[in-house]
Structure 1
Amino acid sequence: MKILTVLGARPQFIKASVVSRAIQDNSNMDEKIIHTGQHYDTNMSSIFFDEMEIPKPDYQLKIKGDDHGSMTGNIMIDMEPIIKKEAPNAVIVYGDTNTTLAAALVSKKLHLPLIHIEAGLRSYNMKMPEEINRIVTDRISDICFCPTQLAYDNLVKENYGEKLELVGDVMYDATLFYAELSEKRSTIIKDNDLAENEFVLCTVHRAENTDSKERLEEIFNAINHITKDKKVVLPLHPRTQKMLKQFGIKTEALVIDPVGYFDMQTLIKNCSVVMTDSGGLQKESYFYNKFCITLRDETEWVELVDNGYNFITGANGKTIIFETEKAIGTKFESSDNLYGDGTSAQKIVNIIDKNI
């Protein structure tokens, strides 16, 4: 059985690391990988393949286009002849990026079985490009692998029928698998003279925050206030760096380059609190028993909010400061297992092997 996996962005590399390993261990399966190039620089892409020992892509696209339409369209144009040539038995897509949507559309137009890993998430914000991508991909997929009970229930309500599978979250698999290796290989704490539980980890990259001067200024004013009492470590996304300069916004945070998977895991493990607008980082914070301050107006990881581990602040500076300072002074206690038992990837491969 030939499986074609399509990747393009950092969170997808992390998820694929454990699923691709499970595919390699199955003698009935052969995997080909397309990397669309949606995340293209070293710290956003190739370092993940190297660190996590993901099989090198069989095809490396060099997609250009800053707009959603041009990016999605160019991925489809470049991908279609590859999929025709490979003629896989099924195509795997992850998450909710433009890469996800493009691969899903091409696959179904070529009448190929489509497998969506991390299906069923809903933020109910149709202004989010990711929400559109995930809804369309879920609808046209042949198997929807849901990471949580809530994601599964969302698709039951939307009448998805028998194509649903509740398997847990492959990012939790990755956290467990790489935890010891991350600790051994990462030197980021020492390199930046950081102390355990003495800094806040912050990432900001979503267009809704970076493209609005008002929102970006409000967020960074809050960050600057927090730095008076606690060091804030900021791995700076290229888009955010560009817009900070364009808007003339200064930061008192400790700015570092974007980091690889091992360094990010080490930062999460050693920080006191996480502030982020990332989807994946909200979960990874929970995996390491850290509160998360989410710099968005909503989240698709609703179970974290409902259970008191995640606090939605939007770009309201006063709320960001209040929730961050409160979280710093609160002990994290969890006996839940919201994202499975760490065997999601193996469950996924077993189901594919049985049903495709």
Structure 2
Amino acid sequence: MYRITIVAGARPNFMKIAPIIHEIERLEQNGVQIDYRLVHTGQHYDKNMSGSFFEQLEIPDPHINLECSGNSQAEQTAAIMIAFEKDLIEHPSNLVMVVGDVTSTMACAIVAKKMHTKVAHVEGGIRSGDINMPEEVNRIITDSITDYFFTTSKKANENLEQQGMGEEQLFLVGNTMIDTLLKQQPNFIKPPCWDSIGLKNQNYFVLTMHRPANVDAQEKLQELLKEIIVQTRELPIIFPAHPRTVKMLSKLHIEDERLHIVKPLSYLEFNYLVEHAKAVITDSGGITEEASVLNVPCITLRNNTERPETISLGTNILAGTQPENLKPLFDRLFEGNWKKGRKIPLWDGQTAERLLKALLEAEGVSEA
């Protein structure tokens, strides 16, 4: 029996692993000797990640939640490593699969390698070039000890080749997050704020901000929000905000009848809003991918991106973090001159199938 331990630590990780779990279960039903253990490190506490969250993604609850939330990054890394080592000793696997670039990804990859267990990194090889981002540190460390890389783009493969990884380790398979998006698109749910605010199709903006560079400095956040309010003209702005951001916003006393700060939404509700928005304003990498596939204009409040295909082929444009950069982009948007998204290679909903096929072949596991 070929056993895979799949690690997820934050909400976006589960969107990325859901299709992989579905494919493993399909292979099991077809007689392939394969099973999995889903480990939730508990890195991000999110009250929306209840049973209904897993039901929406059509995956079972994790086999274990290590409950390693909170504290500093160093304390959290240590807590995850200690708890995961114990779990991996009790439940040994042929391979540990980590996804994305959160602290759990790095911490569990280190534990696996020190226990002589192979590591596969889903979404390996992406780089922002900004070493000040915690995620960039996590990516570099994880990729330095990974055995198999399942990549989303040719650029990611190039990054790994430059790092000295062999061709036999690299598998360009596509984007599992898009597998989930395309599968769940028919199931998107209109959130309560749609009717309570009176939203109309392509007549509002979705705003998300969570990066410390944007939300931790009070003055910077205030300047950005004021400029966003001005540049969005008369349209509503829907801002699903996490508690940390809400706490900072409460100090700013920014009040505008068009700015609607709402609680974090479920996956199906949030993507309903994105799909029908005039545009998305964000500092999240994953949302730029989803917006591009949904062909919704996307303005990214960052100076760099680890997902360049969302710019070259998608609907995403980097605005930087200076408020004065926003006006030309919003002028372009309201003039109807925003670029249209093009198909991104292999972002077609079939990534998980290619990924498992490549992994089983590499590991010599028969699909017969």
Question: Given the superposition, is the C-alpha separation of residues 230 and 339 from structure 1 closer, same or farther in structure 2, using an over 3 Å criterion?
Answer: farther
Question: Given the superposition, is the C-alpha separation of residues 126 and 25 from structure 1 closer, same or farther in structure 2, using an over 3 Å criterion?
Answer: same
Q: CA deviation at 1:332?
A: 4.4
Question: Given the superposition, is the C-alpha separation of residues 308 and 186 from structure 1 closer, same or farther in structure 2, using an over 3 Å criterion?
Answer: closer
Q: CA deviation at 1:275?
A: 0.4
SS in structure 2 at match of 1:26:
helix
Structure 1 residue 256 corresponds to structure 2 residue 257: no
Counterpart position of 2:170: 164
Distance in 2, Cα, partners of 1:353 & 1:156: 22
Counterpart position of 1:214: 219
Counterpart position of 2:292: 286
Question: Given the superposition, is the C-alpha separation of residues 278 and 334 from structure 1 closer, same or farther in structure 2, using an over 3 Å criterion?
Answer: closer
Structure 1 residue 67 corresponds to structure 2 residue 68: no
Q: CA deviation at 1:151?
A: 1.1
Counterpart position of 1:343: 350
Give aligned pairs, total: 355
SS in structure 2 at match of 1:115:
strand
Q: CA deviation at 1:249?
A: 4.8
Structure 2, gaps ≥5 residues long: 364-368
What code does the residue aligned with 1:17 have? Answer: A
Moved over 6 A (4+): none
TM-score by length of 2: 0.91
Question: Given the superposition, is the C-alpha separation of residues 289 and 132 from structure 1 closer, same or farther in structure 2, using an over 3 Å criterion?
Answer: same
Distance in 1, Cα, partners of 2:18 & 2:221: 33
Counterpart position of 1:354: 361
SS in structure 2 at match of 1:25:
helix
Q: CA deviation at 1:39?
A: 2.0
Contact kept, 8 Å, 1:36 with 1:62, in 2: the verdict is yes
Contact kept, 8 Å, 1:292 with 1:310, in 2: the verdict is yes
Q: 1:224 aligns with which of 223, 226, 229?
A: 229
Contact kept, 8 Å, 1:223 with 1:253, in 2: the verdict is no
Distance in 1, Cα, partners of 2:40 & 2:159: 30
Q: CA deviation at 1:104?
A: 0.7
- For residues 300-319 of structure 1, the aligned pairs below 5 Å read 300-307=306-313, 309-319=315-325
Deviations 1:110-157 (A, max 9, x none): 110101000110100000000010111111111011101111111122
Contact kept, 8 Å, 1:49 with 1:56, in 2: the verdict is yes
Distance in 2, Cα, partners of 1:126 & 1:172: 27
Identical aligned residues as a percent:
34
Counterpart position of 2:24: 23
Question: Given the superposition, is the C-alpha separation of residues 325 and 254 from structure 1 closer, same or farther in structure 2, using an over 3 Å criterion?
Answer: farther
Q: CA RMSD in A?
A: 1.9
Distance in 1, Cα, partners of 2:27 & 2:195: 40
Counterpart position of 1:97: 102
Q: 1:326 aligns with which of 314, 318, 332?
A: 332
SS in structure 1 at match of 2:48:
helix
